[in-house]
């Protein structure tokens, strides 16, 4: 996706007063200290000074930390709105059999992703406080939405006429404190109230969340060609899925793009040569490195897939830096897969048909 595609849609919503980080912050305890919004380029700037976000706003570190946590909360809500209103994705609540008052998690997917798309791209983020649609919250704050969110990846996948699923692996618990209590400066009984949370069924961990979405959605989709793009801990989660659902994953996933993945093939796959061979053949990894983009990087692991430089030393910027390379890899691998499948089809001889035509 070209940057203009994203910023254009983002700007139109802002001009129509339909989307604003500032509107989400208004009315909160942090309204005065968080006088920020995203500009037309998707960069977080102070509304009066146009400066970058400043962490040290108060004289008390604890207050500054809580202010930053509050900003992260509002960014989560803002990105959710972008996914639905800019990318036109649908929010899907899980588990599907949840009762009305049961805590639920959710993920996002494009319309008809499971029913009409021959290709499906699944985005699996790193572990952290950030939620669906983000590669990293610090990068959003310092560099902007273009670098820190998954929106450019989503747009690129949709432009290729494929379906998209955006997982939400870090949405694991429901906090029994009210939203106002969580975002408040008050720290009384903090150690006690912080324990007042319960795990969400089938989403209590990134591994469990991903497994549930695979079992109930991805594995049942009509898409014959599924690709995963996994960042950081998301790579470890994918390998866990591969080990747990080996045959299904191998039959449906045609390639995986890892970005600074935390997986360990030898430890996670044990002594299973088939799984190790599949990873070496159908996966590729981009890592933060001083080498130019796409240059080969030596891996410390004895068993690993091809490893290339992401073109940056910055871990948080790695996904945005290798976006084009990843989609080039997905495209070439899919074309190779389709050619292989085509050559395996029975070849019809034309001699018999020609004789029939001639005798008419």
| Residues whose CB is less than 8 angstroms from the CB of residue 45 and which lie 6 or more positions away in sequence, other chains included | 36, 37, 38, 39, 51, 52
Q: Which residues contact 20 (CB under 8 A, 6 or more apart)?
A: 14, 37
Cα separation values, 254 from 173, 258, 332, Å: 32, 14, 11
**pLDDT value, residue 360:** 34
State which of 8-22, 76-90, 299-313 shows the largest mean pLDDT: 76-90
Q: So what's the pLDDT on residue 353?
A: 40
- Look at residue 1 and give its three-state secondary structure: coil
What is the rounded average pLDDT of the residues 203-232? Answer: 97
Indicate the pLDDT class of residue 344, thresholds 50, 70 and 90: very low
Mind listing the pLDDT tens digit for each residue in 62-117?
Answer: 999 999 999 999 999 999 999 999 999 999 999 999 998 899 999 999 999 999 77
CB atoms within 10 A of CB 30: 22
pLDDT tens sequence across 158-208: 998 899 999 999 999 987 765 555 556 664 444 444 456 889 999 999 999
| CA 250-253-256 angle, 5° bins | 110
- Give percent of the chain above pLDDT 70: 84
At residue 1, does pLDDT exceed 50? no
**Three-class DSSP category at 250:** helix
Provide the mean pLDDT of the chain: 87
A 10 A CB-CB count for 3 gives 11
| pLDDT surpassing 70 at residue 345 | no
Q: pLDDT at residue 278 above 60?
A: yes
Minimal CA–CA distance to 38: which of 151, 123, 127? 151
Boundaries of every domain in the chain: 87-359
| pLDDT band at residue 229 under the 50/70/90 scheme | very high
Closest CA to 135 of 5, 323, 329: 323
What number is the average pLDDT over the span 309-323?
Answer: 98
DSSP for 301-334? SSS---EEE-S-S-TTTHHHHTHHHHHHHHHHHH
Residue 337 binned pLDDT confidence (cut-offs 50, 70, 90): confident
Task: Report the length, in residues, of the chain.
Answer: 360
Distance CA 360, CA 356 (A): 7
- Residue 53's alpha-carbon distances to 25, 35, 44, 82, 171, in angstroms, are 15, 9, 7, 21, 25
Q: What pLDDT, on the 0 to 100 scale, is given for residue 341?
A: 60
By 3-state DSSP, what share of the chain in percent is helix, strand and coil, each rounded to 5? 40, 15, 40
Q: Which residues pair with 253 in a beta bridge?
A: 226
Query: Given this model, what pLDDT does residue 81 score?
Result: 96
Q: In this structure, which topology does domain 87-359 adopt according to CATH? A: Rossmann fold (3.40.50)
Is the predicted pLDDT of residue 356 greater than 60, yes or no?
Answer: no
Q: What is the pLDDT of residue 350?
A: 42
Q: Is the pLDDT of residue 144 over 70?
A: yes
Closest Cα to residue 120, out of 207, 249, 258, 274? 249
Q: Which residue has the higher pLDDT, 288 or 190?
A: 288
Quote the DSSP letter at residue 149.
B
Q: How many whole angstroms separate alpha carbon 148 and alpha carbon 91?
A: 20
Confidence of residue 233 (pLDDT cuts 50, 70, 90): very high
**Looking at the predicted structure, is the pLDDT value of residue 352 above 60?**
no
**Averaged pLDDT for residues 216-237:** 97
Measured CA to CA, the distance from residue 346 to residue 43 in angstroms comes to: 55
pLDDT at 179: 53
Residue whose entry in the numeric block shows the structure tokens 């960042």: 231
């Amino acid at each position: 996706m070209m940057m203009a595609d994203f910023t254009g849609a983002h700007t139109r919503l802002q001009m129509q007063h339909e989307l604003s980080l500032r509107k989400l912050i208004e009315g909160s305890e942090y309204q005065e200290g968080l006088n920020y919004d995203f500009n037309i380029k998707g960069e977080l700037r102070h509304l009066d000074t146009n400066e970058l976000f400043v962490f040290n706003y108060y004289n008390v570190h604890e207050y500054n930390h809580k202010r930053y946590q509050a900003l992260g909360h509002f960014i989560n809500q803002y990105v959710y709105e972008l996914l639905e209103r800019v990318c036109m994705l649908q929010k899907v609540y899980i588990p599907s059999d949840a009762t009305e008052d049961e805590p639920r998690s959710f993920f996002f997917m494009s319309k008809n992703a499971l029913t009409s798309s021959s290709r499906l791209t699944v985005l699996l983020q790193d572990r952290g406080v950030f939620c669906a649609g983000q590669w990293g919250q610090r990068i959003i704050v310092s560099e902007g939405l273009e670098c820190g969110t998954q929106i450019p990846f989503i747009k690129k996948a949709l432009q290729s006429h494929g379906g998209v699923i955006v997982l939400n692996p870090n949405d694991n618990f429901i906090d029994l404190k009210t939203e106002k209590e969580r975002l408040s400066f008050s720290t009384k009984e903090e150690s006690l109230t912080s324990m007042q949370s319960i795990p969400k069924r089938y989403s209590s961990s990134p591994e469990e969340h991903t497994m549930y979405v695979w079992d109930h959605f991805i594995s049942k989709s009509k898409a014959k060609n599924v690709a995963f793009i996994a960042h950081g801990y998301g790579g470890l989660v994918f390998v866990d899925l591969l080990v747990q659902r080996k045959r299904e994953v191998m039959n449906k996933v045609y390639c995986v793009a890892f970005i600074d993945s935390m997986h360990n093939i030898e430890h996670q796959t044990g002594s299973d040569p088939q799984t190790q061979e599949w990873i070496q053949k159908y996966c590729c990894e981009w890592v933060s490195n001083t080498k130019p983009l796409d240059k080969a990087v030596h891996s410390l692991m004895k068993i690993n897939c091809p490893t290339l430089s992401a073109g940056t030393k910055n871990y948080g910027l790695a996904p945005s830096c290798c976006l084009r390379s990843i989609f080039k890899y997905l495209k070439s691998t899919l074309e190779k897969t389709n050619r292989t499948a085509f050559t395996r089809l029975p070849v019809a001889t034309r001699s018999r048909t020609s004789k029939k035509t001639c005798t008419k």
